[in-house]
Amino acid sequence: MGAYLLLSTLLLGSIVFAVTIGPANISAAEVWTSILHHLGIGESSLSVLRDGIVWQLRLPRVLTAAAVGAGLALAGVVMQAVTRNPLADPYLLGLSSGASLGAVAVLLIGVSLLLPVAAFIGAMIALALTLLLAGAFGRITPGRTVLAGIAVSALAGAVTSLVIFWTVTGDSYREILGWLLGSLASARWSSVWIGLAAIAVAGIPVMLTGRLLDSFAFGDTSAATLGVNVQAARWSLLTASAVLTAAMVSVSGSIGFVGLILPHAVRLLTGPRHRLLLPLSALLGASFLIWADTAARSMFDPRELPVGIVTAIFGAPVFALLLAARRTET
Amino acid sequence: MNGLEAVGVSVEIERKQILDGVSFNAPSGELTALIGPNGAGKSTLLHTIAGASVGRVSGQVLFEGEDLLRMPRRRRAQRIALVEQEAHTELALSVQEAVSLGRIPHLGPFGTETEKDTDLVFQSIAAAGLSTSEFAGREIAGLSGGEKQRVLLAKALAQEPELLLLDEPTNHLDIAAQLSVLNLLRRLGDSKITSIAAIHDLGLAVAYADQVVVLFSGKVVASGPVESTITPDLIADVFRVRAQVLKDPDGNRKVFALSPLDQD
């Protein structure tokens, strides 16, 4: 309970505080006034311009960061549990690459689908290909699944690059590259709704599966003897991860390492059992990405870094530490 | 006498027939040893009974008259537990956390653990022969092979099973620990738990089990009480070794001396 309160407070504080940061100097009190005003409580004393900066620019971006961070962290917890691979993340089974390919198809070739829908289709095709490939030569095992995921990721990445190479010219290179590396620069209220919808449809159900994920601790056979329908559970959990990943990729490009390192950070706090790990990873993931994005947009002001670069600079060393820790264990 | 009855159980995995019309009876409250050479189908049979088979299963497995293959998963998991031969976890679970996984079938997805569950977890750790004060808080990754095996046994006991299935439970243990685990299994019979264990060591199987089922290439070649079922001829046929019956100096169980078959 204490951890819930702590991380919820951290998230709320992060949202308000991150909105105050930027070229125009805006106080936390002004942020509150603007938010309450738009929720229909009280009068706004802010000028139209300052209110616009809070409500139209910064707040949607910060809330999108929160939703994306929470969604990716949840997808990471699920992937690590069902593949029994502590280094798993939404990238692993080709989900992010497939979603990126779907999104690029809409952005560049003009496939007439909604961006999140195309990203979801891309993610599901990648997931299906991965599982098909993993099962093509016998039973689907976690190890084979991971290797198949790497192959599918590489393929989707190559096709994405090909599309970009053929279609993009001049300045739009920079734009599309920024998006591929993960960026929240174009976040609007519509992005917030997409992110929150994915959390509602897939994230919240996933948060209730703590004990189910626990039962995978010793593998499929053990899960089956604890009463779990292993195939059905794995499929629905992976599909939920695909929904989360696709929605998040469609609003922010593919931001790496959040799904990988956040679950590990929270495990230090909660231990390995999933009932607490799931909701707390979502909360901390939300705060983490808010701060990573705030750093990305303010460190080299007025130029912006893609937030994916910031999470990678954080995440790669943590990944290396995880590998090192595993080596000493086995 | 009911216990477990397998009737014509066949299992096909990736188009290979692993079990072929397996029928046997494992009476209530007794320890039945499953023996046979490597690849005979012992693990597959145990997994099938436990509802964890990955292949196509036909036939009937009745436990106390109820068909296990058609029983709802959670209900089956409340009555039957399997101790796997090798089971690893990537999670940094403590012994107590690992053993409490055994409560999952009783708690369901959303039930809250009560004091009774915690008590049962500690009792199971103790029953599997681990000191609770020393081990409950320790992380599994740091345990020896034998200690890990006991954790898996404790996890199965925490399921409060009526039927306990064990796949080579003595594998990673030194001889003293092997005997202590087998003694534990015999005592489970007193608490009315029916157990079926795949046991590699023929001598241990004969010394500890009440009943024996001999598997060979996916078929049952003999089954029944140990004394009348295990004969030198059978051992020669199934394991390709010569067996001579020796007298057990202070008991009525058979002891075998094994030697290679003559090369002729």
Cβ atoms of B192 and B27 within 8 Å: the answer is no
Q: Which residue of B has its CA nearest to A326?
A: B90
Token pair belonging to B87? 């089971």
Exposure string of A176-194, with b = 16+ CB inside 10 Å and e = fewer, is bebbbbbbbbebeeebbeb
Chain A positions contacting chain B at CB under 8 Å are: 84-86, 138-139, 208-209, 211-212, 214-215, 217-222, 224-229, 267, 271-273, 329
pLDDT score of B252: 62
Cβ atoms of B1 and B28 within 8 Å: the answer is yes
B55 Cβ under 8 Å from any chain A Cβ: no
- What type of residue sits at position B116? K
The residue-averaged pLDDT of A149-170 equals 89
Token pair belonging to A258? 């959040």
pLDDT score of A330: 41
Cβ atoms of A281 and A11 within 8 Å: the answer is no
The residue-averaged pLDDT of A76-80 equals 94
Q: Quick one: how far is CA B121 from the chain centroid?
A: 20
Q: Which domains does chain A have, with CATH numbers?
A: 2-329 (1.10.3470.10)
pLDDT score of A63: 97
Q: Where are the domains of chain B?
A: 4-260
Per-residue pLDDT of A266-311, as tens digits, reads: 998 888 999 999 999 999 999 999 999 999 999 888 888 899 999 9
Peptide bond into A302 cis (omega under 30): yes
The yes-or-no verdict on residue A327 having pLDDT over 70 is no
The yes-or-no verdict on residue A176 having pLDDT over 90 is no
Cβ <8 Å between B109 and A209: yes
Cβ atoms of B212 and B205 within 8 Å: the answer is yes
SS3 call for B197: strand
d(CA A106, CA A114): 8
pLDDT (tens, 9 = 90+) of chain B, 264 residues, equals 589 999 999 999 988 999 999 999 999 999 999 999 888 999 999 999 999 988 899 999 999 999 999 999 999 999 999 999 888 888 999 999 999 999 999 998 888 899 999 999 999 999 998 999 999 999 998 998 889 999 999 999 999 999 999 999 888 788 888 888 888 888 876 778 999 999 988 888 888 899 999 999 999 999 999 888 988 888 888 888 888 877 666 666 777 788 887 655
Architecture of domain B4-260: 3-Layer(aba) Sandwich (3.40)
Cβ <8 Å between B93 and A267: no
Which secondary structure element, helix H or strand E, spans residue A146, and what is its range?
Answer: helix A142-167
Cβ atoms of A291 and A69 within 8 Å: the answer is no
More confident residue, A196 or B185: A196
Exposure string of A280-305, with b = 16+ CB inside 10 Å and e = fewer, is bbbbbbbbbbbbbbbbbbeeeeeebb
Cβ <8 Å between A222 and B84: yes
Cβ atoms of B211 and B34 within 8 Å: the answer is no
d(CA B243, CA B233): 8
Cβ <8 Å between B107 and A211: yes
d(CA B70, CA A34): 60
d(CA A271, CA A17): 29
Q: Could you give phi then psi for residue B223, rounded to 5 degrees?
A: -160, 155
Q: Which residue of A has its CA nearest to B97?
A: A273
Cβ atoms of A91 and A153 within 8 Å: the answer is yes
Token pair belonging to B15? 């188009």
Residue in A61, A68, A119, A72 with CA at minimum distance from that of residue A250:
A119
d(CA A66, CA A60): 10
Strands B16-26, B4-13: pairing kind: antiparallel
Q: Considering CB atoms only, which of A211, A218, A224 is closest to B87?
A: A218
Per-residue pLDDT of A228-261, as tens digits, reads: 999 899 889 988 998 999 899 889 988 989 999 9
B107 Cβ under 8 Å from any chain A Cβ: yes
- Quick one: what percent of chain A has pLDDT higher than 90? 53
Cβ <8 Å between A217 and B51: no
pLDDT score of A326: 64
Average pLDDT, chain A: 89
Residue B114: Cβ-neighbour burial (10 angstroms; 0-12, 13-18, 19+):
exposed
B175 Cβ under 8 Å from any chain A Cβ: no
Using CA atoms, how far residue A151 sits from A79, A89, A105, A135, A255, in Å, is: 17, 15, 20, 14, 20
CA atoms within 13 A on the CB side of B232: 12
Collect all residues of chain B within an 8 Å Cβ-Cβ radius of residue A219.
Answer: 84, 87-89
Q: Note the ipTM here.
A: 0.91
pLDDT score of B192: 84
Per-residue pLDDT of A65-74, as tens digits, reads: 999 999 999 9
Per-residue pLDDT of A110-125, as tens digits, reads: 777 788 888 888 988 9
CA atoms within 13 A on the CB side of A275: 12
Q: Which residue of B has its CA nearest to A229?
A: B73
Using CA atoms, how far residue A256 sits from A89, A124, A305, B94, B244, in Å, is: 9, 19, 14, 30, 66
Q: Which residue of A has its CA nearest to B14?
A: A138
The residue-averaged pLDDT of A102-107 equals 86
Which secondary structure element, helix H or strand E, spans residue A198, and what is its range?
Answer: helix A189-198
Cβ atoms of A172 and A281 within 8 Å: the answer is no
- What type of residue sits at position A259? G
The yes-or-no verdict on residue A329 having pLDDT over 50 is no
Residue B196 CB contacts under 8 Å (≥ 6 apart), including other chains: B4, B26, B31, B32, B33, B34, B46, B49, B163, B164, B165, B166, B213
Residue in B171, B182, B150 with CA at minimum distance from that of residue B32:
B182
Cβ <8 Å between B93 and A227: no
Using CA atoms, how far residue B22 sits from B213, B240, B264, in Å, is: 10, 22, 33
Handedness of CA A18, A24, A25, A26 (dihedral sign): negative
Cβ <8 Å between B109 and A85: no
A-interface mutation test, from B101, B107, B157, most A Cβ less than 10 A away: B101
Cβ atoms of A259 and A90 within 8 Å: the answer is yes
Cβ <8 Å between B101 and A84: no
Residue A322 CB contacts under 8 Å (≥ 6 apart), including other chains: A86, A87, A261, A264
d(CA A324, CA A329): 9
